Structure 1
Amino acid sequence: MEQEDLCPPSSCGEITNITHPFRLKGDPIGCGDKRYELACENDVTVLYLYWGKYNVEAINYDNFTVRVVDPGLQQQNCSSLPRYFLSLSNFSDAIGYSDITDPYQASYRIDYSVDQVFQHIVLLNCSHPVADNDKYVNSGSCVKWESEGYIYAIAGDLIAEDFEVGCHVKLVTPTSWRGLHTHKLSYTTILEALLYGFDISWMAGACDHKCGNLSAQRSDCQFDSSKHALRCGKHGSRYPLF
């Protein structure tokens, strides 16, 4: 029996299923993986990611994701904003899935493809109102930076052709809410997406635990959606080793 099997789940606030590879700060040595250590602060489970501290909303052990929310966001307060600037470029797997150095990833490998687990919301401050551009969602009276300019949100990546004269980026933040492409967007919808939070993946760590050192073995690891399980195989092969 492995050590992780001897460790009872930990809990903090609404998160009651904290188990391997996660651990709470203060759990016994040998329980969980230090790379995935969470903290319990004021009865809220928090995850430290790069320079930020995020509230944990859910841990999904079936698809190897954890959903977190920026603590600057508040229910029933449309003027609340994320505290942290965070985008795909902050994660090492943005360079390539074989170049992962972080415990958390912005993507995972599923059925021999790589899928992102979140998309961006970009907030811009414009010196004048923006008309005739449906991508720009007006925050109305909700958001003001230093009481100057007009604040707009864009769902998804910001490309060069989206830039309007007199606008500049104030904040980029992730969301994994799936309704952004099925609704006519309003700032209420944008806020709902922000409050939902975003997923990050720990699949790379789960693959190392199941398959061993992938680089040393020249092996690959995928999530098989038909079996809801990780599969280990030779690099570039579609056939599992075990």
Structure 2
Amino acid sequence: MFSPQGPSALELLIQALSSVERGYDLLAPKFDHTPFRTPEDVLDACADALTGLGPFDGGLDVCCGTGAGLRVLESLCAGRISGVDFSAGMLAQARYAYPEAEYVRADARALPLAGAFDLAVTFGSLGHFLPAERPAFFAGVHRALRPGGVFAFPVGAPPPLASRAYWSAQGFDLAMRVRNALWRPPFVMYYRTGALSALRTDLVAAGFAMPSVTPLTALGRRDDGSPKYGLVLARRAATA
């Protein structure tokens, strides 16, 4: 799962026993050498799906981490691109990779941005928000967008009940719940808390129009022919 440049088992254990912020500060220098970074083919598929929705001026990568999503924004946005994250370590890595972008250190549940962006994206972040926290997260993104702005993020199709992926995700979430019941501070990262129906409900409650899902067919199909991934597109209503 990890390249030789990735973290050791001990480093991962220390990270898992830390808070989310501290854990990512520790992991940041080696994060891009782990399977936790969003794969290039997912980024490319999302960029392709967003190309026809522009033009976009300003772009925002929410929970930007080391900046994988900034490459998508660079290819789509004519104006400034920005990344926001609450891990100073991850932001330092992003600044090194994308020095032309602007950065804000902030908690995504209380984004200090308003009406400045035409496109917002997030990759691999939703598992870090409990269902009760998602409304604040989505409301902050809604505020950060200009009228008519688009919020986009990829989602994977639910794995079949009999698949290894399904039971691996279930096992991971159970381990995290046990860890958080026994150890403080908590480390919030769950795979099975973001059903598409719940995400849509929370996006609409935050002020977005009813989201659509664009199939990312370049990333493959399941045995039943349905796409393995889709891109959720939520738009802030345009003013008159």
> Does the pair score TM above 0.5?
no
TM-score (norm 2): 0.27
| Rg comparison, structure with higher value | 1
**Structure with greater strand share of residues:** 1
**Structure with greater helix share of residues:** 2
TM-score (norm 1): 0.27
